[in-house]
Structure 1
């Protein structure tokens, strides 16, 4: 087959392209080339930027983006409440809000919508004052809003409902969470409870003094947290964004051993008596004779924890546990207990007691002038003879005296669950001189707190067993589980028989028989058997470092009822000017206790003891 040649188009007229007007025919190709170059350069730059963003700056930009949308929010734990032994609230917390605004931001926003910023701020101040009432001043609020400060605080403690009412009209007013500690009794047991207040740096209430401080970690609970998303620059939580939630754990409630009704009465009576007597200060402690529980603890000066800013800083402490003093003759109970325990004397042992005695180079006199008296040992105690006490102490001896003093717990803290406790002071045995043993048996040269003094008499009231005092009765967990604090182990001071003998001797202190009168008939309570002891301790004059002849500690410790004690009362007055006895205060407190706890009358009155022989 012959080869066919290539096919050719049919011949026809040729149609040429007309070049663009004013441009040579090669211009289109040049323009296309330039466009390609520009496109390539743009792609290269974009690629380099993408590498920088996704590679070199990825972590930094990711972190910034997360910071804009992610917020860690604190979920505050509610602080535990404090109640008395019967469940009456002594301290609890409530939720509140702190209101604030941003004056400059308000100006900007109002101008953007064509409003007068000043008129708007006047309306804001007026509305806040309407809702909060007399707690704020409209003029002061307006002054803050018209200032050039970045942020102004409008009100500190606002009820959540009031905050919502204000924000419904003015959403630009922001709020912060606040927890407020409330003390419904005002001054009631304030020196025991102490006070807790808001800490801005922690956004939490913390204990400042007292039980609120020492039990802070227990009461505070554990804060929770959650992570949420918020709009950039805003506090509003994006719905559905909540995650990583750790719920808060509320604090533990504390149930105290205090009886708030008794506490109120003891506090009022102590404050009134100290004021009438012109005492610099006063302390009163009431213990349960069997358990050592503190039923009341009061001081002559106190404070209102609801008005902490107005409180005198000197009144925030608790002198009943923190201020030691030289007790004077209430310490003669140590000599009495030791003398009976070791069989040195009996209650009716007759001692020849002169008006004065010299021991270790120190001359000691009785409080009243007299010649040689024939006094029973009960009389020595009831009439508070220094000379008779020292003569008996010489028979006991310093080592056995020190042993009983140690058993009473003097010189060591009681271990009560309150802060700032002092253990008092007893000079070490190896440092004693002849004059030391001339002072200790009559309550000079050593020191103790009101709580320790009351604890000594609790041991005698409890058949010779001292129970370390406590003020916290139980802990109540957030789920309602109640756990009682363990009762402290008792310390045997003297035998039951010795304790009963000493109690019977102490009844004579309050007897009021002609010629056989004790030092405190004003402490007697009609129809009841009462046992107790007066005391007058010389204070040290700081000017000379010697004992003052004009400044005294006035004390009294006693128990009710004497035949089967239920309560022990200890009282201390610091340098009273209007009297030399705390016995009337004991009487008033004992009278209330007898009525409040419905203590039955004994079948017979206290027998009359012979104190001095003709």
Structure 2
């Protein structure tokens, strides 16, 4: 089988002789031997040859000679081995050891010279039988012909340099040489060199990324807010000054201050720096008004819970500025002053039971100061700034500076009239003390608005020096003094009787001297003895029997309902903290004597303010208006805020309210009536007297609680005044009447109410 001939190397012929390169005038296929060259010889040029290095022109000039069967024979005869480039390099350069390939036999022999001298020195020579043509033995063009024999020549002996051939032949079963597959060499791979452009791009990217990170960090540190870093270095230089917010004031209805705050100083001591405590206490005692022993105790050295020594102790609060300056003039080591606030009450005890007082920290502790503490108390501000150290302890210009403005507290405007309050307190105190009374309360109300114009208590106290008084002396009697109202409660029964049609102004009943309920007998102080008595006479003489008979006709449920309608049994919501609710019994809690005791004002718990509101409703044409003390509130930024509108409800009709007022005028006009001490010259007065009991922890206290509640002018009422006085030894009636007359007369004159133009009607108690 013939194989296509292998294209021979165009630069050498099959015999191994180098062909001359084509030149001008010379044929390209000249087979003449190449002239001998000195130096490196033909092997060097063969080493430098690569088939890819041929140009198109060289390929055109080169003619691929087809191998003929004769050429191998010619080579064999000549004995010149075909040149084969195995590895690059020069003949005179050392070669790396090479892995020996499996010996193969080709047609012909190959001999290696043992010497490296002369022109053939360093060359690898030999002959290989056969040609690289398609048909010769040893052909490498693909499939080899049958019977081809591949021999290898043994290495030459190292002794004499002569090469002794050791032919090895492989034969087939038919006696021929079997074909050997072509020698496949593993292609050599050159090491992959790094791409300089890639390295350059990577380096540029890393550099840009680094500069971008640095730039972002610089912007963050220099532009964006970084409190952690910005504040880290200035903590040691920061100074803080408190900007105090003043507490709001409390004013009367005309804007006159009842209490307000003024700037003051506090005096303190550093016990660790005080060198001579007894001497310092002796100097400070006259200025601060505190005993020497107390000052020494406050300046004594002591340990804090953590074990560290205390470096601060209060000596005095609210010290006037001039006193504080005198303290500093003493130049005592360890004694200092600071900004403070002092609550000033111009009227000392004026409305003290209403206003209350504040503590050293300017927080409300009692009264309206406590009830509206959140409104009155301001919010302190703070000024933080950077300052130097040592002698340069002054604010650093351009340094850190932060100001949180203080928010001053709001203010209260009361419905109280300062002048009226003063007169009520004076009159109440004089009349109660003159009759050996202990507790008294007086209230003045504007019947059209429900505003409380005056609310006096006895005893009272100086709110600027409240520590010297007992807690009971500081209570507001009008809202905390719980009593049995006594006969002033009868106005509710008469009003309900008129409204329900049980009685009329002209009703006349035969009234016995006594009436019995269960095992209790009730009698009148002015008994009718079975005579006929008018409703006016019943009120004038405060008939218990008549009142009980009206209640019997109403029934327990009606009595209870009208008690609630007139505001009994729950706080009025006037505005005072701790206001008592009182208590009225529902019908299912009545016992056998309740139908007799409850209508005349016993077994009923009320406060003086609750009863004043009852009479204000009668004076206001039967419309009950919630009494209230707060007229207006002013926020810290100057905004006026009106309080919620007071609760109102119609209890009895205006007609029946007017009829009831006419009946109650008999109390001050009928001779020997219970309320003649309440007459006021020039004015018609309608009212009612009462004698009840003081209730303490659900039990009656000894003595009597006398009361007088009235309205004037009776024909067109404007104001209601209620007076209650507790006298442990009795005789309270002599207190309430005269006190009422003084207070009502002053009220009418103060507000310039014109006198009555018509005289009171003539009443007959026993027609």
Q: What interval of TM-score do these two structures reach, taking the shorter chain for normalisation?
A: 0.7 to 0.9
Query: Aligned partners of 2:508 and 2:290: how far apart in 1?
Result: 78
Question: Within 2, Cα distance between the matches of 1:505 and 1:255?
Answer: 38
Q: Give the superposition deviation at 1:551.
A: 2.3
Give the 5 Å matches for 1:140-539: 155-160=316-321, 163=324, 167=328, 170=331, 173-199=335-361, 205-229=362-386, 238-240=395-397, 241=399, 243-369=401-527, 371-513=529-671, 517-539=672-694
Assess if the C-alpha contact under 8 Å between 2:243 and 2:383 holds in 1: yes
Q: Deviations over 1:337-370 (max 9, x none)?
A: 0111111111121111111011244321112455
Query: Deviation digits for residues 478-498 of structure 1, max 9, x if unmatched?
Result: 343322223313111100111
Tell me, yes or no, if the aligned pair for 2:615 and 2:720 is still in contact at 8 Å.
yes
CA contact (8 A) 2:269 2:299 kept: no
Q: Match for residue 761 of structure 2?
A: 607
> Equivalent residue of 1:442, what SS?
coil
| Counterpart Cα distance in 1 of 2:467 and 2:548 | 50
Alpha-carbon displacement from aligned partner over 1:352-404 (angstroms, at most 9, x marks no partner): 11110112443211124552121011111111000011111111222222221
Q: What residue number does 2:729 align with?
A: 577
Residue 254 of structure 1: how far off its partner (Å): 0.7
Partner SS state of residue 198, structure 1: coil
Match of 2:434, SS state, is helix
Aligned equivalents of 2:542, 2:364: Cα separation in 1: 44
**Aligned equivalents of 1:439 and 1:138: distance in 2?**
57
Q: Which has the larger radius of gyration?
A: 2
With the length of structure 2 as denominator, give the TM-score of the two structures.
0.64
In 1, the alpha carbon distance for the partners of 2:394 and 2:499 equals: 75
CA shift digits 1:47-68 (9 cap, x unpaired): xxxxxxxxxxxx9999997553
Aligned to 1:91: 259
| Distance across 2 between alignment mates of 1:510 and 1:193 | 35
Rounded Cα–Cα distance in structure 2 between residues aligned with 1:194 and 1:540 = 24
CA distance 1:243–1:146, shift in 2 (3 Å): closer
Deviations 1:197-236 (A, max 9, x none): 213xxxxx10000000000000002222232335669996
CA RMSD of superposed structures (Å) = 3.3
User: Which stretch of structure 1 is more off in the superposition, 137-146 or 452-461?
Assistant: 137-146
222 and 341 in structure 1: CA distance in 2 versus 1, 3 angstrom threshold: same
Distance 1:139 1:348 in 2: 76
For 1:275 and 1:282, the matched residues in 2 are separated by 10
Moved more, 446-455 or 553-562: 553-562
Give matches, 1:24-63, under 5 Å: none
Instruction: Show the counterpart of 2:246.
Output: 78
Among candidates 746, 749, 752, match of residue 592 of structure 1:
746
| Post-superposition CA distance 1:271-293 (Å, at most 9, x none) | 11111111121111111111111
Structure 2 partner of 1:562: 714
**1:97 positional shift:** 1.3
Could you tell me how far 1:312 is from its partner in structure 2?
A: 1.8
Distance across 2 between alignment mates of 1:166 and 1:134: 7
CA deviation map 1:532-556 (0-9, x unaligned): 00111245699xx9868x6222111
Contact 1:276 1:578 in 2 (8 A): no
Distance 2:764 2:393 in 1: 85
Does structure 1 retain, via aligned residues, the 8 Å contact 2:512–2:527?
no
CA–CA distance in 1 between the matches of 2:630 and 2:568? Answer: 22
Q: Distance in 2 between matches of 1:136 and 1:547?
A: 44
Change (3 A) 1:609 1:279: same
- Give the secondary structure class of the aligned counterpart of 1:254: strand
Deviation digits for residues 431-470 of structure 1, max 9, x if unmatched? 2233222111100011100000100000001111111011
Matches of 2:419 and 2:643 in 1, distance apart?
Answer: 22
- The structure whose RCO (Cα within 8 Å, separation 6+) is larger is 1
Q: 1:609 to 1:438 in 2, by over 3 A?
A: same
Higher strand share: 1
Q: Secondary structure at the match of 1:179?
A: strand
- Paired residues in the alignment total 529
Rounded Cα–Cα distance in structure 1 between residues aligned with 2:653 and 2:615: 14
For structure 2, the 5+ residue unaligned runs are 1-226, 303-310
* 1-structure distance, mates of 2:453, 2:514: 41
Distance in 1, matches of 2:259 and 2:392, equals: 33
Q: 1:552 to 1:143 in 2, by over 3 A?
A: closer
1: CA distance between counterparts of 2:314 and 2:236? Answer: 25
Query: Closer, same or farther in 2 for the Cα pair 1:379/1:556, shift >3 Å?
Result: same
Distance 1:317 1:537 in 2: 20
Conserved in 1, the CA contact under 8 Å of 2:438 and 2:459?
Answer: no
| Distance change (3 Å), C-alpha of 1:376 and 1:171 | same
> Partners in 2 of 1:146 and 1:442 — Cα distance?
63
* d(CA) in 1 for partners of 2:326, 2:349: 33
CA shift in 2, pair 1:152/1:551, >3 Å = closer
Aligned partners of 1:179 and 1:233: how far apart in 2?
30
Pair 103,466 (structure 1): closer, same or farther in 2 beyond 3 Å: closer
Q: Structure 1 105/288 Cα, relative in aligned 2: closer, same or farther at 3 Å?
A: same
Structure 1 window deviating more from structure 2 (69-78 vs 253-262): it is 69-78
Shift of 1:577: 3.4
Secondary structure at the aligned position of 1:598 is classed as: coil
Instruction: Kindly indicate which of the two structures has a greater share of residues assigned to helix.
Output: 1
Does structure 2 conserve the Cα–Cα contact (< 8 Å) formed by 1:464 and 1:493? yes
Residue 594 to residue 67, structure 1, CA distance change in 2 (3 Å): same
Change (3 A) 1:145 1:511: closer
